[in-house]
Structure 1
Amino acid sequence: MSQAPLVLVDGSSYLYRAFHALPPLTTSKGLPTGAVKGVLNMLKSLRKQYPNSPFAVVFDAKGGTFRDEMYAEYKANRPSMPDDMRLQIEPLHQSVIALGFPLLCVEGVEADDVIGTLARSSAAANRPVVISTGDKDMAQLVDGHITLVNTMTGSAMDIEGVKEKFGVAPEQIIDYLALMGDSSDNIPGVPGIGPKTASGLLVGVNGGLKELYEQLDIVPTLPIRGAKTLPAKLEEHKEMAFLSYQLATIKIDVPLDVGLEDLHLIEPDREKLLELYTLLEFKSWYEEIQRDAKRVELKAVAEAAPVASAVVEAVEAVASVPAEPVYETILDQARFDVWLKKLNEAKLFAFDTETTGIDAQQAQLVGVSFAVQANEAAYIPLTHSYIGVPEQLDRDTVLLALKPLLEDPQKLKVGQHAKFDMNILANCAIGGDPACGITVRGIAFDTMLESYVLNSTATRHDMDSLAKMYLDHDTVSFQDIAGKGAKQLTFDQIPLEQAGPYAAEDADVTLRLHQALYEQLTALPSLASVLTDIEMPLVPVLARIERQGALVDAELLGVQSIELGNKMVALEREAFEIAGEEFNLGSPKQLGAILYEKLGLPVLKKTGKGQASTAEEVLAKLAEDDYPLPKVLMQYRSMSKLKSTYTDRLPEQINPRTGRIHTSYHQAVAATGRLSSSDPNLQNIPVRTAEGRRIRQAFVAPKGYKLLAADYSQIELRIMAHLSKDEGLLNAFRDNLDVHTATAAEVFKVELDEVTSDQRRSAKAINFGLIYGMGAQKLGKDIGVDTKTAKAYIDVYFARYPGVREYMERTRAQASDQGYVETLFGRRLYLPDIHSNRPQERAGAERTAINAPMQGTAADIIKKAMVKVDDWLTASGLDAKVILQVHDELVLEVREDLVAEVSEKIREHMSGAAKLDVPLLVEVGVGNNWDEAH
């Protein structure tokens, strides 16, 4: 049997990362606890994963280290530790020790050095080592015995993993860091050398820093951008490079008072943990310890007196909250009646449906599950149909009994992705009548949305991911019981022995997730408001839009497919002419040979295997540089995508029951709060090309109706005006000026009536480009000027609109300080890369920080507008329905004689969805198809 590895945990790294990446959590007395909970969750997970391993959890000690003496500026640029993080250090240390983990803090060195020393000494004794860290510096320790794991992301890195991630071997990582520096630790490196150049240099000389400086003469010949200027740069900063090497080197010879034999796990100190969990208000963990203690007590009593009445009383005392899950599959009326009574008496219950598929408009209901308290749930199978299936309760009888309960808005319910269950039950056709379904009301909570609102970027928001992250629970996966691939069973074919516990677990975990997540949300009232005032009211609205669907002209799409196919053939011929030979346009290998070997185009990017890339972003860049073949290829790919995704696919997606297309809207995908859609994805139909607009022509109104498109005009710029309080922007919108013309007049120093169409186009690029973080180089390309001119335009823009620059600087600072930004309504977007030591990642996070409050606020406004419009349509009873939502636009199907009335009311409700310092302008168009309505 292989030896259990030594597990070394970089506690300081995880504390820092948990603080910035996870949602803040505070006690009722204001004590911050989120980072403590995040790190302890991770440690508990590691203990389960490595039950027989020795452990050490290592933290930085207070005070300076030998590196501060070596270089006074070491870590000097780091902001001081936030008070909310500092307050969590001591309770975290105490909790780690109480859980039974050895904890190490060694003065004068960093946690990395302690870990490095333990790792190397263990590896020297041929014992495997797992270092749990998120710090890339540790990659220098990786060897045949030492592996890195990032427990927060689940990723692992061995020797090959280091090479793949950094482009160099583990033994070159110190040299790599010495060249590129590390901004988070203020290790200087060589100015102007980034990750790609550093790895290129080390690979090119096949060695480290010493070998590089011995072979500076070959550097200009290496395939590295700017290689000719590198020798002088390296020579100039040689002393700093070698100092950086020393700073980046992890010590592996720290004198320690402990050895491997001292690093064993011990039994948790339950009394101390109860004291700490009371202080930190970790209610579920506190209750878990109490239940464990009660079970131990019961076992002891039972062993002493197996039939004693005390045992019976004790068992009854804990029976109300089962320590282990108790799941029931209901097959008789008496048990169903018991559960129906439980559900009617519950203040809140979780429910879930099991179905034959994942298309909510076509899947059939197989069964329903419920939970009224943690660890106790039931599944009611209705239509399982395999050979030998036990007799089930009558489907329609059960649904008719559940219908009043599920339709009662006062009976509060919680689901996981409840919109799907709502649509399934609405389409369940009781008694075979399509009009007789269950209109679920009273969905008070949705755990998918609770997680999403709490932190949209912390994890995926499916049940399995949430259970692992927030409950440290591994759920039974669908593949575990249904199999994989072509032989995968539908749920009605799965035996009840497996289906029952699986389905009941869904309801149980949903309830337990709600208890865990809502506790965190209530500690942050602004986020709780986003959930209850924006996201939850939208769920039934989206469910109705999905069920309504949109009418499409399949015949017109067929004609468009033929036309796109003809254009693709013509483009293919043009590509052959440019290349001078025929080749497979879809083959990266053949395309690479034509582009780079035959035509000699510059290689902008390589694949992980070192091949010249033919990815879309590379072709787009080459096309921008006026290379003819990449231009043709981009056109060809665009036509191909339209054909395969829309004109060929849309007719296949028409629902045979309704004759319409039913897209699915997703509330918990885009980090900023925007909705996305799939099957089909309506967000990505291009509107800047004639071919894209023609696809919109296939979305048509039925006879006697019109399509009405209502679109917010320049909403993100209006939000920018509101957030920045810039008087120039505010006045332009208040005076109902064309903001692009107004900007053009300011930037080009002309009167409003003298602005040309080209100047307005350039101003539009500036207005939108800056809020998306566009730099001078990209702006120059977009508007056809050199970088210097573009920068001058940007400087003039900020001089005319100083409030915008102040907003951007303020937002960057806030993001860096608190790790997140907020929308006008309190939605948060966490930015895990805002403190990245990779300049490119950090710059990307800063751009996101600037744009997210605008994009997120726009998303919040359209969601609030959808709820207002739906409320009005429901109350009015008018023959008008929302059929699509795309970006900042709502599309309605309206009876012809009601168009004027609905247009007026839509403008009113959408423009009144939020109160800004500038008016919200809504443009309404009407037509026989979606394109015509613009």
Structure 2
Amino acid sequence: MSDKKTLLLVDGSSYLYRAFHAMPDLRAVPGDPASPATGAIRGMINMMQALRKEVHADYAACVFDAKGPTFRDAIYPAYKQQRNPMPDDLRAQIPPIHEVVRLMGWKVLDVPGVEADDVIGTLAVTAARQGIEVVVSSGDKDLAQLVDEHITIIDTMNGKRRDVAGVEAEFGVPARLMVDFQTLVGDQVDNVPGVEKVGPKTAAKWLQEYGSLDAVVASADKIKGVAGENLRKALDWLPTGRQLLTIKTDCDLNGWVEGLPSLDAITIGAPDAPRLKDFYEQYGFKGLARALGDATSSAPVAATPAVAMPGQSGDLFADHSASPVAEAAQHRAVVYDTILNWTDFDHWLQRLQKAELVALDTETTSLDEMRAEIVGISFSVQPGEAAYIPLAHAGPDAPAQLPRDEVLARLAPWLEDGKRHKLGQHIKYDRHVFANHGIEVRGYVHDTMLQSYVLEVHKPHNLTSLAERHTGRTGISYEDLCGKGAHQIPFAQVPVDKAAAYSCEDSDQTLDVHNALWPLLQADDKLRFIYELEIASSEALFRIERNGVLIDAPTLAAQSHELGQRIVQLETDAYAIAGQPFNLSSPKQLGEIFFDKLGMPVVKKTATGARSTDEEVLEKLAEDYPLPAKLLEHRSLVKLKGTYTDKLAQLALPRTGRVHTHYAQAVAVTGRLSSNDPNLQNIPIRTAEGRRIREAFVAPAGCVIASADYSQIELRIMAHLSGDHALLHAFHAGLDVHRATAAEVFGVALDQVTSEQRRYAKVINFGLIYGMSSFGLAKNLGIETKAAAAYIDRYFQRYPGVKQYMDETKAAAKSMGYVETVFGRRLYLPEINSPNGPRRAGAERAAINAPMQGTAADLIKMAMVAVQKEVDAHQPGIKMIMQVHDELVFELPEGDVDWLKSHIPRLMAEVAALKVPLLAEVGVGPNWDKAH
């Protein structure tokens, strides 16, 4: 083990900007825009905690830019002049950020007259001269000039590591030439010019050829072309540019770091737990405060949990406070049993049969629910008490275990008894696991994941987060037991004593979390209704996933072959147009061919100044040029082939020949389901090739596929929510709503509406639902922005109820911090009062659209539940096999078609009574495509 010491330096100024922009608009009092902003503070805490866990250091400092000018401003008054002023909300958070970083055990430095980079450079070089390893955490590429065998730059936000090899690989020059490199290229961020039109590649090429900036300058007369001419023009400026861009490594830090070159003054310290806890409570970080525990008690302080980086999980919003459940959970001793004999098994089986509610958890061989087998089962019948039955642990030290088949046979009557109430975390997965062993579990009445999803959709719903947030408990992680990545072992190889502690803790924590969340749902009738809908939907989705859909592999193979031929032809066509072969996926080569060879106009540039060839640019250029159009078609077909025609058959379960997609129920904030492995919701249907994919979803012999789809569901919901008379009339009269809108907007009779006018009206109808601006509408329709604005104004004049609904909804969202669906699902909008204009505007658009999307999600779930119940009662031969957007898909015997056509549309239309009638339409065919 190395005895070398490590100095960790944090570029605090870089960190606080990242924290500010990465986090939502948090407030000390959630939802109160007048309350102090806390997002940057919380983000900074997260980042500093994560860094301290990642890098073990002996010395540490967090360095910020000080107020006021620096020596560089005196050299060059235009230095950094183009930068926008710091946002007021961020400026106000800087003093508390300094305070909390100090309380976390770090030395905080902000030295006047120099920049943070200079202080970092001075400390880094001072330490490196003593053989101390230096790690600098920053995303600033300028610091790469400091790198040597002792100094490394890490960027924890993207995992980038700039060591000696990393710098040369990234920039094409060694670290010792980075100042020369930067001087030639310049620094747009700091408003420091370089040599005009000399980019990183030219700068690296010159330095590789001549060896240094001085040598490049000495050879300036020999360098030909425009670049050489620009270099000669810049010769008088380059010494000043180098002076501005060179990081000082000899700052006078007396009074800031005592005793240099000794680093004892910045020895990393322990967190000041009592004052940290006060700070966390002051700024509303209740989860962090709880995690510290009672720092003044004689009991050991709970370790601060690993807190996620901005954008990931964490206590980002006000929690439900420290409930009596949480208080009890944090101070409770636990008793966990391991069942290895029948006497203990019988004892626990009696407890299960007597308990009013049992928390249940399975440990398995796989995350793939259709393939997973049980390794062990745990139960908790009351807080603090749980048992684990190991059933398939292997290894030389594994004890003798009860036989799995016999244990499951003895548990089956209890598991399949719907009157024996059960609780789980993500119960749909456990249903599948038991079904893999021939057991259909009944009596699942609660799911803590779904409780959280309904109560706090904007927060993470995994058990670790729930336990920490609602009970103050932390526990064993899966990685603690099994490791990570390539070195991860199967759960069956985990020692039984450790597996038992982990699994029992999961069941015990699930029961604790339920006891904290269930009373909150019981107290709100609307939320309880949504929760009960989610529980019922979970059971229906389990059935859909279990059924799966039959895949016609030969059809897919034929489509793949055809797509492959078309892709090759498109490549040939593209080469012919370009006049040369090229890599169709290379932005560099595309740029050279588009703009240099073919003279196409530059539509936009990337953040680094390169000429963009992204999809938006291709679509714009394709309006006038054939090559971009070929490339767009090529990309779409390559994606279609790689994602679907090549892979769908591989995803079919061998024993069934069917694809069993996984529906994630607690992901989308609107209540919509998401589908993966495969993603059925993203199959492109706007192209003929995309629609053909659905031909491979087939029915077996003697059966057909049926599709039941809500018609214009979100427009109907808009009519209901807005109560607009003209919209309500259109739906009640059975009119073509897009034609009716066109008649209103263009001021013509219904029978005089042209197909073009109807198309415009359709875009307007759906665009306004999604908060489309006049600019967006203009782009979509290919018209002037002024004309699009006129259409929108005319729409709102003819449909004033819609405009009123939108205005009132935005106002309500700003006041409450959330909006609701028709049925009471809450859709939180943490950015609705953000000082950041684009974020706030995005939240306002979501406030308008989310109630419609969310209500549509509620309706299709209600339909799914009602249809499954009716089918089970009257036509058990009908299988629901997919749910995609507003559509339910069935596989059924040919003889049941009439019953389905008669009953399913009626059931879907009757699940709710809105101000307009709901309409569901059914199609039938031998495959999914023909059912439309």
TM, length-normalised to structure 2:
0.70
Paired amino acid for 2:799: Y
Contact 2:185–2:195 (CA under 8 A) maintained in structure 1: no
**Correspondence list, 1:534-933, <5 A:** 534-604=533-603, 611-623=610-622, 625-933=623-931
Would the aligned equivalents of 2:6 and 2:135 in 1 still touch at CA under 8 Å? no
Tell me whether 805-814 or 279-288 shows the greater mean CA deviation.
279-288
Letter matched to residue 457 of structure 2: S
Q: Report the secondary structure of 2:367's partner residue.
A: coil
SS in 1 for 2:377: strand
**2:363·2:377 contact (CA, 8 Å) conserved in 1?**
yes
Q: Is the 8 A contact 2:287 2:468 kept in 1?
A: no
AA aligned to 1:503 is S
Alignment partners' CA distance in 1, 2:546 and 2:844: 39
- The code of the aligned residue for 1:716 comes to E
Kindly provide the amino acid, as one letter, of the partner of residue 441 in structure 2.
Answer: T
What pairs up with 1:204-283 in 2 under 5 angstroms? 206=187
Conserved in 1, the CA contact under 8 Å of 2:878 and 2:893? Answer: yes
The amino acid across from 1:707 in the alignment is: I
Q: CA deviation at 1:323?
A: 4.6
Task: Say if 1:586 and 1:15 are closer, same or farther in 2 by CA, change over 3 A.
Answer: closer
Percent identity, aligned pairs only, is 46
Deviations 1:278-319 (A, max 9, x none): x999999599759976799xxxxxxxxxxxxxxxxxxxxx99
- CA displacement, residues 703-751 of structure 1 (integer Å, 9 cap, x when unaligned): 3322221111111111111112211111111211111000010111110
Say whether 1:458 aligns with 2:459.
yes
Structure 1 647/715 Cα, relative in aligned 2: closer, same or farther at 3 Å? same
TM-score normalised per structure 1: 0.70
Contact kept in structure 2, 1:481 and 1:498, CA below 8 Å = no
**C-alpha distance after superposition, 1:462-512 (max 9, x if no partner):** 445555666473642348515523x65433344435544443443344334
Q: Residue type of the partner of 1:335?
A: D
* 1:741-793 alpha-carbon deviations (Å, 9 max, x no partner): 00010111110011122211111111111111222333234334333322221
1:529 counterpart residue number: 528
The 1:123/1:570 distance shift into structure 2, 3 A limit, reads closer
Displacement of 1:211 in angstroms is 7.5
| Distance in 2 separating the partners of 1:644 and 1:266 | 51
1:363 aligns with 2:372: yes
Whole-angstrom CA distance in 1 between matches of 2:839 and 2:24: 19
Write the distance in 2 (CA, Å) between the matches of 1:906 and 1:158.
61
**Alignment match, 1:84:** none
Q: Is the 2:454–2:531 contact (alpha carbons within 8 Å) kept by the matching residues of 1? A: no
Q: How far apart, CA to CA, are the structure 1 residues paired with 2:793 and 2:340?
A: 73
CA 1:578 to 1:515, structure 2 compared with 1: closer, same or farther past 3 Å? farther
Question: Does the residue aligned with 2:681 lie in a helix, a strand or coil?
Answer: coil
The count of corresponding residues between Structure 1 and Structure 2 is 802
Contact 1:721 1:730 in 2 (8 A): yes
Check 1:13–1:205 CA distance in 2 against 1; reply closer, same or farther (3 A cut).
closer
Q: Is 1:382–2:391 an aligned residue pair?
A: yes
Give the AA of the match of 1:473.
T
Alpha-carbon distance in structure 2 between the residues aligned to 1:209 and 1:902: 68
User: 2:401 — aligned with what?
Assistant: 392
- Give the CA deviation at 1:808: 2.0
Contact preservation (8 Å) 2:415, 2:441 = yes
Q: Is residue 2:516 matched to residue 1:507?
A: no
**1:42 CA drift (Å):** 11
**How big is the shift at 1:677?**
0.8
User: Retained in 1: the 8 A contact 2:379–2:507?
Assistant: yes
Kindly provide the CA deviation profile for residues 871-905 of structure 1, in whole angstroms up to 9, marking residues without a partner as x: 22223254212111000000112222222222222
- 8 Å contact kept, 2:548–2:881: yes
**Equivalent in 440, 443, 446 of residue 444 of structure 1:** 446
Question: CA-to-partner distance for each residue in 1:821-855, whole Å, 9 max, x for gaps?
Answer: 22222223333333444433333222222211111
Superposition deviation, residue 16 in structure 1? 14
For residues 744 and 16 of structure 1, the distance between their equivalents in structure 2, rounded to whole angstroms, comes to 42
Instruction: Report the residue type matching 2:401 in the other structure.
Output: Q
* Alpha carbons of structure 1 residues 805 and 627: separation in structure 2 relative to 1, 3 Å: farther
CA distance in 2, matches of 1:149, 1:142: 10
Residue 120 (structure 1) shift: 11
Q: Indicate the SS of the match to 1:710.
A: strand
Residue 428 of structure 1, CA deviation: 0.8
Cα RMSD after superposing both structures: 5.9
- For residues 17 and 521 of structure 1, the distance between their equivalents in structure 2, rounded to whole angstroms, comes to 31
Aligned residue type for 1:825: F
What is the distance in 2 between the residues matched to 1:626 and 1:399? 67
Q: Distance in 2 between matches of 1:387 and 1:716?
A: 60
CA drift of 1:859 comes to 0.7
1:419 is displaced (CA, Å) by: 0.6
Distance 1:716 1:21, change over 3 A: farther
Paired with 2:836 and 2:39, the residues of 1 have a C-alpha distance of: 26
Give the counterpart letter for 2:738 in structure 1. Answer: H
CA separation in 2, counterparts of 1:893 and 1:800? 44
Asked if the contact 1:548–1:883 (Cα under 8 Å) also holds between the matched residues in 2, the reply is yes
Contact 2:19 2:41 in 1 (8 A): no
What are the Cα deviations for residues 526-583 of structure 1, in whole angstroms up to 9, with x where unaligned? 6732552221111111001110111222222222222222222221211111111122
Which residue does 2:478 correspond to in 1? Answer: 477
The question of whether the paired residues in 1 share the 8 Å contact of 2:22 and 2:43 is answered with: no
The offset of 1:629, in angstroms, is 1.7
Change (3 A) 1:17 1:558: closer
Distance 2:411 2:297 in 1: 36
| Amino acid across the alignment from 1:451 | S
1:55–1:101 Cα contact (<8 Å) kept: no
Q: For residues 542 and 671 of structure 1, do their structure 2 counterparts lie closer, same or farther at Cα, with a shift above 3 Å needed?
A: same
Asked if 2 retains the 8 angstrom alpha-carbon contact of 1:446 and 1:536, the reply is no
Q: Counterparts of 1:283 and 1:75 in 2: how far apart (Å)?
A: 28
In 1, the alpha carbon distance for the partners of 2:591 and 2:554 equals 38
SS at match of 1:686: coil
Contact 2:9 2:137 in 1 (8 A): no
In 1, Cα distance between equivalents of 2:726 and 2:141: 51
C-alpha separation between the residues in 2 aligned to 1:906 and 1:24? Answer: 48
3-state DSSP class of the match of 1:551?
strand
**Maintained 8 Å contact 1:815/1:834:** yes
Taking structure 1 as reference, are residues 489 and 334 closer, same or farther at Cα in structure 2, changes over 3 Å only? same
Q: 1:571 to 1:47 in 2, by over 3 A?
A: closer
**Structure 2 portions without partners, runs of 5+:** 32-37, 65-84, 128-133, 168-182, 199-254, 259-264, 302-326
Deviates more, 1:574-583 or 1:809-818: 809-818
Opposite residue 492 of structure 1, the aligned amino acid is A
Query: Aligned with 1:683: secondary structure?
Result: helix
Partner Cα distance (1:154, 1:376) in 2: 42
Contact 2:5 2:57 in 1 (8 A): no
CA contact (8 A) 1:722 1:917 kept: yes
Return the alpha-carbon distance in structure 2 between the equivalents of residues 870 and 743 of structure 1: 36
Distance 1:802 1:405, change over 3 A: same
Question: 1:76 Cα deviation (Å)?
Answer: 13
- Contact (CA 8 Å) 2:448, 2:513: kept in 1 or not? no
